[in-house]
Amino acid sequence: MKNVPQDLYPWKHHFLGLNGLNLNYVDEGQGPVMLMLHGNPTWSFYYRHLIKAFSGHYRCIVPDHMGCGFSDKPQDYEYTLENHVQNIEKLVKFLDLKDITLVVHDWGGAIGMGFATRHPELIKRVVVLNTAAFLSPDIPKRIAVCKAGAFGEFFVRALNGFAWPATFMTTKKKLPQKVRQAYLAPYDNYANRIAVSRFVQDIPLNESHPSWKTLKEIEEKLPLVKAPKLIVWGGLDFCFNQGFFERWLQIYPEAEAHWIADAGHYVLEDAPRKAIESMAEFFGRTR
């Protein structure tokens, strides 16, 4: 894949076969497991700072969800929350992962906590980064436009109306050009933006939505995840706003929370050092 500089993303590709499709993942370092799950429209590239910071002492497993990053982008796949959760279950089983430090962002929250609520015995810690794993009617107008039927799909896929704006609407700091190009590289044409569009369409806003039941079950089972939790939150997030942050604290009042007031939705882009320091301290206290 062009436009992904080796100095920013130097890691070897590993692939898990899933019914004839390839799921890409990074497997870097040795030691306790860190499983990092990205959202939309990012990919494993989002976690590059964490991989570099922690792979000296941890085994960093960072998959690209189906349709994202270096994973296959089938046009006839059911890009649903349930299937994404099952893909992570299969990856964890394939790699025989245990005592997992789970790191989640954006859609990675619903997917990762979907996995965690089904397998709480495998989770050692959870790090929550600007995400949700519960039902909410709160959807920004700019995302609602991308969800609007045939027009939304045309806007997202033909006009690149989701992945491209995300390169400047999700951060306070302006991303360097080669970082913006790397984020967009997997989504460089109509066909390759299939998952970007399907993720938006898969946001459940009413009970008739196919993923409503799945997300509701995840929300109801969140208390089953007893592992220590760290919440690192960018306060300038237009999508996952303060209400989502407060909802996490209602669910997990014992969680350690770090509010980074001058960071946006891509908190690891605006404040990577603060996030890494918070995580390292948290890992030390929960060793």
Please say if the pLDDT value at position 287 is more than 90: no
36 located within any domain:
yes
Q: Which residue has the higher pLDDT, 4 or 127?
A: 127
- SS3 at position 148: coil
Long-range interactions of 156-164: CB distance < 8 A, separation 24+: 156/193, 156/196, 156/197, 156/200, 157/190, 157/193, 157/194, 157/196, 157/197, 158/190, 160/184, 160/187, 160/193, 162/40, 162/41, 162/193, 162/196, 162/197, 162/200, 163/41, 163/187, 163/193, 163/196
Contact call for residues 219 and 133 (beta carbons, < 8 A): yes
Amino acid at 274: K
Percent of the chain with pLDDT over 70: 100
Residue 26's pLDDT band (cuts 50, 70, 90):
very high
> Model-level pTM?
0.97
Give me the pLDDT at residue 21, please: 98
Please name the helix (run of DSSP H) or strand (run of DSSP E) that holds residue 195, with its range, or none: helix 194-201
Residue 5's pLDDT band (cuts 50, 70, 90):
confident
Give me the pLDDT at residue 206, please: 94
261 located within any domain:
yes
Residue 142's pLDDT band (cuts 50, 70, 90):
confident
Q: Which domain holds residue 30?
A: 14-136+216-285
Contact call for residues 199 and 107 (beta carbons, < 8 A): yes
Token code pair at residue 274: 């603060």
How many domains does the chain fold into?
1
How many other C-beta atoms can be found within 10 angstroms of the C-beta atom of residue 137?
Answer: 6
Give me the pLDDT at residue 173, please: 97
180 located within any domain:
no
Give me the pLDDT at residue 28, please: 98
Identify the CATH number of the domain in which residue 79 sits: 3.40.50.1820
Please say if the pLDDT value at position 11 is more than 90: yes
Amino acid at 129: L
Give me the pLDDT at residue 237, please: 98
Give me the pLDDT at residue 162, please: 97
116 located within any domain:
yes
Give me the pLDDT at residue 147, please: 92
200 located within any domain:
no
Q: Residue 37 contacts by C-beta under 8 Å, 6 or more apart in sequence?
A: 63, 65, 88, 102, 103, 104, 105, 108, 109, 111, 112
248 located within any domain:
yes
Residue 2's pLDDT band (cuts 50, 70, 90):
confident
Contact call for residues 35 and 100 (beta carbons, < 8 A): yes
For β-strands 229-234 and 100-106, DSSP reports them as: unpaired
